[in-house]
Structure 1
């Protein structure tokens, strides 16, 4: 069993990584690690994740009460505690604002295409949890709908959240999420993603099971390939123009293609 100091040192290291990668700015984001069913180490409010030291971290209970430390907890701690309450398998939670993934969250476009083998095996599709006011129960309530099916979430007009059996797993899911978002955006600018076939997805899911990858994965809703957790249907929103998000994505891709063609001409 790892000591509290080792856990706190790892939290500071992951804080530096998400800061240096530009996943957070200023004092954004928060990280928690489960110690027991009623003890969690958490990053404090008002501190840059790139400049934390172990003595700044606080230990809280399942109700958010401070057990150790002199700093105040983040107002978004409720979101983390809801995850631990509803997902006993989760040992760590990372919340950040990776720019490209957050762009998808702001645009209201879920990352639900099955295109990259690595994302299919280690991440799964990524839904959008409906908007909630920060520091209230609105965000945990919106997130709760998806917790039993996914390990990575876009938070509408807010950012992203990833969970894992330990902190490194949760962090790597955040890295994979942003990488997946960047590639998805590039593919859409080039005319759209080409999804893998049901047969190809099935083989990748077999690999996931073979390597016993922990966590939730909704599987493929198109071909009913079994995942780990039941998929939640993500309803597309219709904006004032009358187009749904899939239609808008296709329109944006076509307009971008034509603009690039004109620039080349």
Structure 2
């Protein structure tokens, strides 16, 4: 068990460095977690730059958010992570980041049209935006709760994104794919001066059949 926890610590740190290198977080922004056992998870500490963390800086906490091992306080957004793991037993890792383009979409009040890009629709389905909630408060999990069922990604109004995965790499890749798609949708909007049109309903039905078939 200890060997597996050590591996997860290194995997989580690799994701933190990846997020910083790709400009998806800045300084102490964002937080990352993963399940470390039936009743525990690893999570980034509060107030620490993600690119400067080491495996031993991560905190082991129980599903009530109590620290089992490590120094410092868990991320101020731990309630959000705990809610995901409570409601979604299929989720093994959570990445909350502040990707610039996705966050700009929520600032501009533009819905993320995953149904305009076939590969994005097949990968994510609808990508909802949770209404604004005061960061680091119980408002954040409350705003997320209605959107959790079946979602691989949720945008947080004025507060970045949340991506879920079966492991840390998948949760991170989903964020990268989503931010890349946001750039594509933005460029299309600039070229056409209107929101990209969604695929026709029959096209979405075909994609759903491929996805589930």
Same fold (TM over 0.5): yes
Structure 1 residues without counterparts, runs of 5 or longer: 211-265
Bigger CA drift: 199-208 or 37-46? 199-208
| 1:127 maps onto 2:134 in alignment | no
What is the aligned partner in structure 1 of residue 73 from structure 2?
A: 72
Displaced runs of 4+ in structure 1, greater than 3 A? none
What is the aligned partner in structure 2 of residue 26 from structure 1?
A: 27
Name the SS for the 1:145 alignment partner: helix
Q: Per-residue deviation at 1:180?
A: 1.2
Q: Per-residue deviation at 1:12?
A: 0.5
Q: Per-residue deviation at 1:109?
A: 2.0
What is the aligned partner in structure 2 of residue 204 from structure 1?
A: 207
Give the number of aligned pairs: 210
TM-score normalised to structure 1 length: 0.76
- Does the aligned pair in 1 maintain the 2:114–2:121 contact within 8 Å? no
Q: Per-residue deviation at 1:63?
A: 0.8
Return the structure number with greater helix share: 2
Aligned-partner Cα distance in 1 for 2:38–2:99? 29
Name the SS for the 1:45 alignment partner: coil
What is the aligned partner in structure 1 of residue 159 from structure 2?
A: 158
Larger Rg: 1
TM-score normalised to structure 2 length: 0.94
What is the aligned partner in structure 1 of residue 98 from structure 2?
A: 97
Superposition CA RMSD, Å: 1.4
What is the aligned partner in structure 2 of residue 186 from structure 1?
A: 187
